[in-house]
Structures are given as C-alpha cells and as structure tokens.
Amino acid sequence: MIYGFWNNKGGTGKTSLAFQAACAYADQHANERVLIIDVCPQANLSELFLGGLTNNGSQHLLARQGETLRATIGGYFQLRLPSPYSPPTFDPADFITHPRTFNQSIPDNIDLVCGDPLLELQSNAMSTLANTQIPGTDAWLAVINWLSDFLAPIRDSYDVIFVDANPSFSIYTQIALSSTDRLVLPVMADDSSRRAIQNAFSLIYGLKLPSDIYASYAFATRLKEAGRELPKVHAIAKNRLTQYMGPSSAYATVLGSIDEDITKLLKSNGSIFTFDKIDQGVVDIRDFQTTGVVAFARGCPFYKLASGKLDVLGQRIQVNESYRQNCIEAINQLVSHF
C-alpha cells in the first residue's frame, strides 16, 4: 500500500506528520519493510531521517546528493530526462538510502529515497516533455508514470510505502500523487486550510472546477482516460490543535466547517474516500509544542525521545513527559489508520 501525505497549502505539518507516522509504523511493524519517498525540493523529511538539525542531517543529505550517481529522487529524474517515455535500464538501489546508517533513532526496517532541490530545476523540462505531441504515445502519462516505473521492480520488496509530496500541484507533485493508493490530508484550524481542502478536491478529483473548459485538462480526467485509478482520501489529520480549544472557540468553528464540507462530499462523491463516516477518517492531533521542536531538531521519533532537559544546539530545553505521551498517542491514532 502506498500512502501519500499532501496538501496544496504549506505549513499544515505534512512533513512532521509523515516523519513521525512512518517511524511509529515501522517500529510497531518490525517485520515489515517500509520505504519513504521524499518528492519535495525542500527535502525537509530527508533531513529529519538523516539526523535533523543537531545531528548533521543536512550534511548527510548533501553527501547523498553529491554521489557520482546522485542518490536522490532528483538523481532518478535526471536519469529519466533523456529517456522520458520509456524506462532506461537502472538499479533502484542506486537511489535508495538506509537512514539508520546516519541516524540511530530511525527503525532499521526503513529505507529512504531522498528529496532534492533539483526538482525545481527539472520541473520545466518535465512539463515540456509531458506536453510534447508524439503520435502513438501519451507523453503526459509516460512522464506521470516515472515514479511508478521506479517502484515497479521493487514494490513487492516493501510492505508499505509513504510518499511526502510538495505543497503544490507541479508536475513532480502530480507524479507523486499518481503513484499513491491512499491520501492523507493534513489541515490546520484556520479558514485557509478549509479553502485548501476545497482546492485539493478540485485539483485531484476535478470537483467544482470554475469552468468546463478545464475539465479535459484536469488531472482526474487524464488519469481516468488512461485507465488509471485516482488515490482515495484515507485520512484527514486535523493538525496542531490547541489543547485549550473550547466548543465556542474560533478554532472549533473552522474545524466544524471542515467536517461539514467533508460530510457533504461523502454523500455526493463517496467513491473518492476509503471511509463512509466522518469519524472514521478524521484524526485530531494536538500541537506538539516544545516536544515537537526538540524531536525534529534531533531527527528523533517521539517514542524514542527522552523526557527532561535535553541539549539542542547548546541550549537546555525541557521536554515534559506528559506532553511527550500526548504526542505519542496522537501519532498512534494516525498510524492506526495504516
């Protein structure tokens, strides 16, 4: 099963949730093999897996990008640029990193395809290739299939794959989303998150497009015409909820509106979801607070993070045990959906 974490709005905690959820899942399923694919030019997820801020995650990522054959998603896409419409001979292992080699906090059953800022440079070339008119060839589909081509020879080697997609709908994001089976949508308690969810359903599923003129160009239309399945919405993670939320708070009002929107979509377009009722697919996740700051600085899953005063770049920061347990509980609730 391939799970994609995505929202076209930045700042919803997508990467932090993907990191913690993937680590917790791998720890709880030690006999399974887990692959993480970071399809984001910021590559923040990769830095977390490779050690975070305090344990040289950035330097380790730069080293992987500096390999003779660039050991990142950008390195694989670079290999595809001269051969966009049919896969060349390649070994996926050349682009896969074992994070435990660099970061002892990461479960040993996790592998990683690192993110790469090269994606931004590649994007225009990839879009041009996808829009090339070639008799007898669906150029767009051939490019959209790049990640599926990468996974084809190794998919049976992994039990679960997690994909972290960029908060955009650029060509490399479409490549990422087209390869996923199930979608995790993180949202926050603000009205921009509500609009972002509405935009997400338009972008992926072609719902409520502003004009019929866009329908033939829509992501959903083109995938369906090629006989491909769209990813199904599997979980909506209400992230960074304040512990002081009351029933009359502005936060609760916005989140209630999001629930109303999803409930309407469940009735009108239920086939795009893996759940039938709102409470089956929504996960409430409280703000990680200082615990999150320390965990992400260290590239450490919550379940392995010590409580008490910890050193972060020369500063002693207090990690409260009860807050840490709250973080673990929240992530476990999300993991229970996988």
Q: For position 248, what pLDDT does the model report?
A: 46
Q: Which residue has the higher pLDDT, 206 or 237?
A: 237
Other beta carbons within 10 Å of 321: 11
Q: How far apart are CA 77 and CA 143, in angstroms?
A: 10
Give the pTM: 0.91
Among 25-34, 55-64, 127-136, top mean pLDDT goes to: 25-34
SS3 14: helix
For residue 31, the one-letter residue type is N
Residue 247 has pLDDT above 60, yes or no: no
Name which of 65-69, 161-165, 281-285, 299-303 the model is least confident about.
281-285
SS3 169: coil
CATH number, position 13: 3.40.50.300
Residue 235 has pLDDT above 70, yes or no: yes
Domain residues for 12? 2-335
Residue 85 has pLDDT above 70, yes or no: yes
- The interaxial angle of helices 118-130 and 73-80, nearest 10 deg, is 30
Q: How far apart are CA 205 and CA 92, in angstroms?
A: 30
At 158-197, the pLDDT tens digits run 999 999 998 888 999 999 999 999 999 888 766 666 677 7
Residue 315 has pLDDT above 70, yes or no: no
Q: Which residue has the higher pLDDT, 277 or 211?
A: 277
Q: For position 22, what pLDDT does the model report?
A: 96
Q: For position 211, what pLDDT does the model report?
A: 55
Number of folded domains in the chain? 1
Residue 209 has pLDDT above 90, yes or no: no
106: left (phi over 0), alpha (psi -120 to 50) or beta: beta
Q: Which residue has the higher pLDDT, 136 or 244?
A: 136
Residue 99's nearest CA partner among 159, 37, 164 is: 37
DSSP string covering 74-111: HHHHHHHTTS-SSPPS--GGGG-B-GGGT-TTS-TTEE
